[in-house]
Structure 1
Amino acid sequence: MRRSGFGLTDFTPAQTEKAFENSAVNVFVLDGNNIIGCGRALSDGVSQAAVYNIAVDEAYHHQGLGKKVTALILEETADCNAVLYTHPDTVSWYEEQGFRRMKTGLALYHPDRISEWALSNRLNPRICRRIGRVLGFCAIKTDSFPAMDILVSTALGQ
């Protein structure tokens, strides 16, 4: 993943790795040995899921990969209501995917996490490589994306 294509986090690689390890569902899209997309969800596996960190390298935009990552996460959490947190610039894209704005949603943010810099910071490619090595995955080849592997790791139902 190129640094210019992502605004996932300002956390260290170890913190990002921990966030993915502690998620119920992780999806990574690979082109060869490069992670070019990802997403994750927290979930109780019964009624609620929160979707985070959907991202696709800019060089791979407009190929349906973001839709595929989102669909795989929603498939793994199909019995749950799903909420999604995203950048204001991408709200309309998620609305096109079926998400609706909430009228009653509230949030309590950690004071150290609120800054414009945090919203616009870019993910280091080493983070994704470390995540791929640490987590266990099952690889899925799809007809829609024959040259790419899509990896799904889920803790649900275990």
Structure 2
Amino acid sequence: MKNQTNRNLVIRSSLALALALAIWFPVQARSAEPAEGKTMTEAKMTERCQEMKEQKQKMKEDAKAQDAQLTEELANMNRAPEDKKMGLMAAVVTHMAEQRIAMDARKAEMEEKMMKHMMQHMQMGKESMAQCPMMEDMGEKSGDAQKEQK
């Protein structure tokens, strides 16, 4: 639960940073062009929103699959004879570290993509960001976090 709260804090902080950058650097924000070099249409932006949401969901599913795999490895380790446990423990710890490093890199890449995505929304106007499915998810999560704090 604390990990989820920390994740929400990072996402909200990232969005606050994006908003601050847009306010402090209005000339750069206005002159920046979308990747195609032309004005992005609402339909294209909606498509990108959906892609981002799908990528985020895939990352969650992958993390759950990794957790299930580690749970199985831990069960095998705990059932193993005493003389095999140390080797299995080393394998589990190594696997956990590898997964953590890979997932951290993946999350950092996703956060960067989300920042760029939100900047594109800002260029299109306030109403564009409000319609983004990613913002809907964050609104639900921040509501959940506020409930947890109470």
Place the TM-score, normalised by the shorter chain, in its bin.
Answer: under 0.3
Task: Indicate the structure whose relative CO is greater, using CA pairs within 8 Å and at least 6 residues apart.
Answer: 2
Under a length normalisation based on structure 2, what TM-score does the superposition of the two structures give? 0.25
Under a length normalisation based on structure 1, what TM-score does the superposition of the two structures give? 0.24
In our comparison, the structure showing a higher alpha carbon Rg is 2
More helix by share: 2
